[in-house]
Structures are given as C-alpha cells and as structure tokens.
Chain A
C-alpha cells in the first residue's frame, strides 16, 4: 500500500500528460500541471525554511564552532521574511490607495526592496562576478593540457576568445582579402557555426533519448529510489 499508491500516482500523472500532448483539447494540461507544481513548491518552502531554522537554532544551542554565524543567518532570514510578508514600508497601489496591502511587496522604498537592493543584489552579483577569476584559473590549469583532447578544447577556446576581441584584427588583420577565411574573426564564426553546431546537435539528441528513457523508467516504476524505504 505504501509503495503501490505512489507508483500508481506517478504512472497516472505521467501517462495522462503524455496522451494529453496529442489531443488539442487537453494540450493546456501541461501548463496547469506546471502551475500546480509551483504551488506545491511554494508550500514546500515551509519544510525548507523550517529546516533552515532548525539547523541553525541547533547550532546555536549546541554552541557548535561558528554558531555566531548561525545567529547572523537567522537574523537575516527573519528580517527579510518579516519585511517581505508584512510589506513593511510598501505604499499601497495607485489604483487602491486606501487599501494598505494592495501595493507590491517590492515597491521602491520598501524595506524588502532595500534588502534586495543593498544585500541580495550586491552579494549575489559579486558571487557571480567571481567567475572572472575562476575562468582564468581554469584556463590556466588547462594550459598544462595532458592529452590531445584537452589541447583541442583549450586551443578552440583560445581562438574563439581572440576572435571575439579586438586582438583578432591585430593577429590576422594583415592577411590579404583572398585569405579572408583564415582571419580570426571568420575562423571563430566557422567554428561556432559548423563544429559547435554539429557537437551540440549530437549532445541534444543524446540528451533527448536519455530523458525519454529515464522518464519511461520512472513511469514504469523501474527506477523508484525517490520513493524511499520502508515495507509495503
């Protein structure tokens, strides 16, 4: 019972949507399922948020190493949650100025907006921008390419990188017009349009087959690790 019903739900949900895909009347069901999923994911926030609180409160009460950072996390978490759910300092919407809750929760000037603008944005954007350094270190390490494949990868990357910058002109700009095909910027385009296209197509076809087989295994109950243990 504990395992049969979930397996049944999986199969029904999946096969109904597969068939619905071919029937014009029901082609919108996929979108409805997507909205339902969003709702479910939003309800699941209770589990995630609860877990977050639990872990950090435990760290604090156990005085584990670095528990002070858990205090910061909890304060940041609760402050943002209060500011956003309470629409703190959010003015009402223009159409309904008499209704305090009608405004957007991220209205400019609200507490939530402030947290987004001055905490969320700089923190995540800086994290993102660190990629500039990581990309450099990855390329540097790949310079010690051990085999032909690695050389191929790095060489191509190098050509594309040059081809997309002003350096291209500097390196191959002297080539005569009849040799235009060998100019770096043109080589870049050829690689992108011919080689990159071919490789990506094969990858995508493979992925589609992999997805189909994986989905089918899930629907048929061949793969059911997500259903957990326990008898039934």
Chain B
C-alpha cells in the first residue's frame, strides 16, 4: 500500500531534514575581522514553582560588553512538531493580547484570530485543508494589521507599532518552521520528490510541450497507458536510489543537534553593573529535554544607509549548556502566588464586611442616581399601563455580566410585581431564558403575587446578535414600553437599542461592563451604571445589609489598588531620578513579581 510506503521513507528522511536545518541555523558569515568575545558560564536550570514550561538561563557577560556587544542571542534546541503548533498558538494569542491592551477597538482582527485559534485548537493542523485554512486566515490577519499600521498616524503610536511589527515577525517565524516541517513531510523538497520529478518531468514535457506545468493535470488522460506504466516503474526505481542515498548521507554526517534562535536580549543597566544576566525561556514542553546556546553579537553601526542595506553582524562563539534540561511541573504555580494573595485580600474583605453587616452594624453607602431611577421607571410604566422591557445582554450564562443582570432583574421584577406592572424579558440564549424564568418567578413569589407571574413573557428569540436586535427594535417600536433596562454584556447593538428606546420616549437605565459600549449608553440612556456600579446594583437594590457589606469590601480592594499604585509610582520615580540599581531592581520586582 502506497501510504505505508511513504511513511517508512519519511522516517528515513527525517535526520536529513534535521541536518539541513542545522546547516541553516549555524550558517553565520565567516568574515570575522572583528572579534567578539563569547559570554561565559552559561547555566540552565528549571524554573521552580511553575507549570513546567520555563527554564532560566544565566550567564556572565562577555568581555568588552557593552562597547563590543550589542546584544546576546539565545538559541534553544529544536523538538518535534507538536511544539511548533503550540508556538504558533502562542504567537497568535500574544497578538490577540496586544490588540486588547492598546485600546484598539476590537474590530479588524478579532475574528481572524479567533478563527485561527479555533482551527488550531480543534484540529491541531493535521492535514492540508487545515493548513490551507490556517495560512489563509493568517494572511487575512496580516493584511488587517498592516492596514491598521498604515492607518495610525506614522509619527506616533510608536510603541504600539513596534509591538505589532514584532508580533508580525513572530507569526512569520512560526509559519516557516511549521511549513518547512510540513513540506518535508509531504516530500515536497525531499530526495524522493526530486527523484520522481527527474523521471516524470521530461516525459510530461515531451507530451505536453513547454507549458506542461500549467495543464498536465487537466489533460492527464492524454498520456498513453503504456507510458504511464513505464513512468510508475521508473519512479519506483528512482525512489529506491534516493532512499539509499539518504541513508548514506545520514551515516556520513552523524546525528547533530539542531538549534533555533529564540530571542535577542540586551542586559539592563543594573545587569551590566553586576556583570551577569539571566533570561527566562518560556513556552517549553515538559516532555522534552532542551539544550541552549548563547552568543554575543555586535552589530556594526552603519554610517551611510543605502537602500536595502543590512547592518553587518559579528557573532561570537557560543556558550553552550552541556546537559539537557527538562522543565518540571510543580504542584503550585508560583507565578500566581501574588495573585492568590490579592484574591484572599479582596475576598476576605468582602466576607468580613458581610459578616460585620450581618451582626447588625449599619453600613452607609452613597447614592447612585441610576438606581434611584428604577422605582421611578417601574412606577411610570404602571401609570401609563405600558410594559417594562428588560434585556440581560446578549451573552450566555457563562458570562458573569449576565448573572449580574439577572440579579438586577430579580429586584426589578419584584418591584414590578408589587406595582402590578407587566415585565417582558426577551433573551438571546436558551439558558438565560431558563434562568430568567426562575428569577422572575421567585421575585413574584417574594412579592406575594405568584399568581401574576406569566412565563410566556420571558421568552427566547434567537442567538444571533443582530437577529435579536432586529426583533427588539421592531417590538419596541410597536409595544412602546415605558421603561427599558439593559443590564448585561452588549456589543455594537447597544446603540441601536438605546436609540430606539429613546425614540419611543422610554425611560432607559443601562448597566454594562463593556468599556467600548459605555459611551453609547451614556449618550443615549437616562441613567447608566458604569462598570463596577453595575455589579453593585443588585446589592443596592436589595437593600439587604449583607449586600452592603460586599460593597464595603470592594472599596477595600480599591484602596489596595491606590496604595499599590502610589508606592509603585513613588519607587519608579525615585529609580528614574536616582538611577539606582537597587531601586530599579525593586521596580522590576514590583512589576514582574508582585503584579504578575
């Protein structure tokens, strides 16, 4: 069977591919007119208290740093394919992060990247179709990013641009490694393929002329049968010969380790003082052993920069690790230790204050205008004999905002039950419908009006964002609710809803934690609960003392933030003014350890 045949051969070919790669990685210009000293004492050790994906490298700076060294280049040994897939995954998710952090509206890229990630998660890019899909998506992503870069003013947003360009490179880096691997696997470039084409090409050329490459596939039936059989035979022979050649080459070269460069790093000011620096290699696979090399690189400064000129690099001999290091996984993720402290502080504060409130101490909170308006809105709906419309966002129950929206619904429904106003809850998710029914039913029961509860007023419309909005827009225009509540996660539809509500003269109260949608609610609604206020709403509306306690707990959290920021800024400023090594180390510690 053909498949097996190919597989067997591929196994034979693998070392050749490795060697070819090694050749590329080590091909450095050999014109060493300038001598760069190598770094010394390179050590690699597993990072403790992690999930088994990091190794810390430490080395002494090369002689002549910083005058003679521009940066250090870190290499690590290559492993097998699955890791490439993971790198790819990481590259794309980094990119994703960039776009979140830079306050760029989530347009352009989001979908492309989601698609890529989904593809890789689901499929692990195992076959051609996926690879094709994946590269296509990536091309799209790239296109949008380039457009984005062009669109931002060229003189500014420099950091953003640099970061994105770096990510573009990362993506590019990831594709060729993986693609090379694929191509090898498909014997596209292998000896086998070459042998095959050496035999078939002339025949095809003879039959179809010089343009054979264009249309031989369509005209394959024109090849006489006997010629085809002859071709098959010849090819088998050629393949056998190629295999033998490969085996000979492998024997001659021995088994070498192949490296790839992962990062160029520059020592910080204080590391220069210390004469020693370290670097953390990330995204490793704990099932693999790794070897590392570090070289010192000097880049010649270019005087007169011509078009397309590349600055000349001088790379030192490498410092290498002798033994392979395997990252290990511990039972506690040390990086997340500070996080666990914050969780304890915030949760502890909330719990303590809830307890204090339960013991009978009255905790005061300030007024929030939007929440005062809830009773007014429900009252007005009753007076006018028109319904209340309540929308818990367009996300499902796995979004905390939906849950927060439901807690607000519970209070609003209770008030509505007391006033005997009709409350309508269209939902865009089936589970939310279920949960909203439970919530409203409980609220009616609590208000002592279980008989007035009508399940049919809480109903599912469609999961599709704009289908849901089309329905709401039409329904609002027809039923003219007197009050509209938007409490939950909203995307672009926020403005359609708020403007439609405005046009029918409804009192509108919105609450969301989507920063991008807040402006539209603020502009078009009567009251908007901004971010944290939205989460505080249910506590306020319930008026229960224990709920007030939780608000007080949240304030403690904010105080912690204030203190952290003030201390951090003070230390960072002192470090900037004095340039002290210790203070800089302290800033590094605050940012990278305490706030990671």
| A interface with B by C-beta (< 8 Å) | 18, 21-25, 27, 34, 37, 40-41, 44-49, 51-52, 55, 94, 120, 123-125, 127-128, 130-131, 134-135, 137-139, 141-142, 153, 157, 185-186, 188-189, 192-193, 196-197, 200, 203-207, 209-218, 220, 222-223, 225-230
Surface stretch bound by A, among B205-213, B511-519, B585-593: B511-519
B299-339: contact bitstring with A at CB < 8 Å (1 yes, 0 no)? 00000000000000000000000000000011111001101
Residues of B within 8 A of A197 (CB): 103
Find out whether the CB atom of A127 lies under 8 angstroms from the CB atom of B546: no
Find out whether the CB atom of B351 lies under 8 angstroms from the CB atom of A220: yes
Contact of B351 among A22, A34, A52, A216 (CB under 8 A): A216
Q: Is the interface of A mostly helix, strand, loop or mixed?
A: helix
Find out whether the CB atom of B492 lies under 8 angstroms from the CB atom of A128: yes
Complex formed: what's the CA distance from A222 to B538 in Å?
Answer: 11
Find out whether the CB atom of A226 lies under 8 angstroms from the CB atom of B403: yes
Q: Which residue of B lies closest to A127 (CB)?
A: B466
Find out whether the CB atom of A209 lies under 8 angstroms from the CB atom of B532: yes
Identify 20 residue pairs between A and B in the complex whose beta-carbon atoms are under 8 Å apart, listed by A's number: A24-B333, A37-B396, A41-B398, A51-B460, A52-B460, A55-B459, A123-B466, A134-B499, A135-B495, A141-B524, A203-B515, A207-B515, A210-B532, A213-B535, A214-B404, A216-B550, A222-B550, A228-B441, A229-B445, A230-B442
Contact of A210 among B156, B435, B441, B513 (CB under 8 A): B513
Going nearest first, the 6 A-B pairs with the smallest beta carbon separation are A210-B535, A48-B430, A228-B438, A206-B532, A225-B410, A24-B51
| B interface with A by C-beta (< 8 Å) | 50-52, 103, 129, 152-153, 155-157, 329-333, 336-337, 339-340, 343, 346-347, 350-351, 354, 396-398, 400, 403-404, 406-407, 409-410, 429-431, 433-435, 437-439, 441-446, 450, 456, 459-467, 469-470, 492, 495-496, 498-499, 502, 513, 515, 518-520, 522-524, 530-532, 534-536, 538-539, 546-547, 550-551, 553-554, 557-558, 561
User: Given A123-B467, A141-B524, A206-B532, are A222 and B547 also a contact pair (CB < 8 Å)?
Assistant: yes
Find out whether the CB atom of B346 lies under 8 angstroms from the CB atom of A209: yes
Find out whether the CB atom of A204 lies under 8 angstroms from the CB atom of B515: yes
Find out whether the CB atom of B496 lies under 8 angstroms from the CB atom of A25: no
Contact of B530 among A55, A94, A203 (CB under 8 A): A203
Q: Which residue of B lies closest to A46 (CB)?
A: B430
User: Given A207-B513, A207-B532, A216-B550, are A229 and B431 also a contact pair (CB < 8 Å)?
Assistant: no
Find out whether the CB atom of B433 lies under 8 angstroms from the CB atom of A223: no
Find out whether the CB atom of B438 lies under 8 angstroms from the CB atom of A227: yes
Find out whether the CB atom of B354 lies under 8 angstroms from the CB atom of A222: yes
Find out whether the CB atom of B406 lies under 8 angstroms from the CB atom of A203: no
- 4 additional A-B pairs beyond A44-B431, A52-B459, A204-B531, beta carbons within 8 Å, are A22-B340, A200-B515, A207-B513, A230-B445
Find out whether the CB atom of A55 lies under 8 angstroms from the CB atom of B456: yes
Complex formed: what's the CA distance from A173 to B429 in Å?
Answer: 50
Complex formed: what's the CA distance from A174 to B583 in Å?
Answer: 45
